[in-house]
């Protein structure tokens, strides 16, 4: 079985796309890729912000002792 075109569903919208020839893989298009990256960055920003706040609280707690 010689499969030249591997087709995979886009993880964001589910559209079946040609995996090997797709520059936006595993997404179907630039739009899906950017949308996913955007939501990931927002999440990352949220996590790092709350992490920073926890660290600040730790510093304050240590300073009180």
Applying CB under 5 A, among 8, 13, 35, 36 the residue interacting with Zn ion is 13
Name the one range near Zn ion by CB under 5 A: 22-30, 35-43, 46-54, 57-65. 22-30
In the chain, DSSP assigns E strands to 7-9, 16-18
Q: Tell me how far the alpha carbon of residue 51 is from its chain's centroid.
A: 18
Structure tokens at 46: 């949220």
Distance CA 51, CA 2 (A): 49
Applying CB under 5 A, among 8, 12, 26, 35 the residue interacting with Zn ion is 12
**Is 28 a residue that touches Zn ion (CB under 5 A)?**
yes
Binding stretches for Zn ion (CB under 5 A): 10, 12-13, 15, 28, 32
């Amino acid at each position: 079985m010689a499969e030249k075109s591997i087709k995979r569903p886009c993880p964001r919208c589910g559209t079946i796309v040609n995996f090997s020839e797709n520059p936006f893989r595993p997404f179907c298009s630039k739009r899906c890729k950017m949308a996913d990256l955007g939501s990931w960055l927002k999440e990352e920003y949220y996590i790092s912000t709350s992490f920073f706040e926890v660290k600040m609280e730790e510093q304050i707690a240590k300073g009180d002792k």
